[in-house]
Structure 1
Amino acid sequence: MNRRRIISWAVAFLALVACNEAGRLIAAGLHLPVPGTVIGLLILLAALLVMRRVPTPLREMTVFLLAHLNLFYVPAGVGVMAYLALVRQDLWPIIVALFLSTFLATLAAGLAFHWTAKFVRDDESGT
């Protein structure tokens, strides 16, 4: 890998970090109930829409990060292992919460799709 490519990847990574940090600062500064990472992604999306393209170094960096996404789960796995006794003690409430939240999220997504489909169907028949 040549020096120019390494520098372009570093700049692309810094752009991703800058969007993330800008979103975090906006969310904290305005006391928004939205995570800063979501706002950072919206900032990145707006920038890409304005540019009307994805720069090659940014595309390469994101492909690299997505290819190695499993490494981002290592800290969470270490945290679970560190608190294994606590997890074991509260295993049933954790399992119930996981299944209940999954069921409610699936139900909410289904209802949202149903209402959206009904709205679109009504809108199409009215035109």
Structure 2
Amino acid sequence: MLIGKLAELTGATRKAIRHYEAEGLLPEPQRRGSYRVYGPLDVHLVGMIRRAQCVGFSLAELKDLAAQKAASGRFPLPVAQTLIADKRQQFDAEIRRLQALQQTLDALETELVALYQRETAANA
């Protein structure tokens, strides 16, 4: 399939697909003349890249994974699992940060309500 079909199947733009190739995230595609020709594995890889980006992975993080796959010829599952575990820890830290902000916001609201009630009582 050509790049337009790959873009259609994955929701990625042609520009993004070419960027993934340039970054080494996708293997060099076969060529039919000057046209890039992609296969089912490319559909899967672009889909995985897009899902990984949606959950916060940078292309740099994915590039390291792709480089290790290229070097060994096999997908480095333990490395991927470590990256996922690290991302989970980042999410947990962000959740704690947001929960602390929510508590601060709740305290602010309580203070504002108390201030309003004091002012209302003083003016009554």
TM-score normalised by structure 1 residue count = 0.37
Q: Which has the larger radius of gyration?
A: 2
Name the structure with the higher helix share: 1
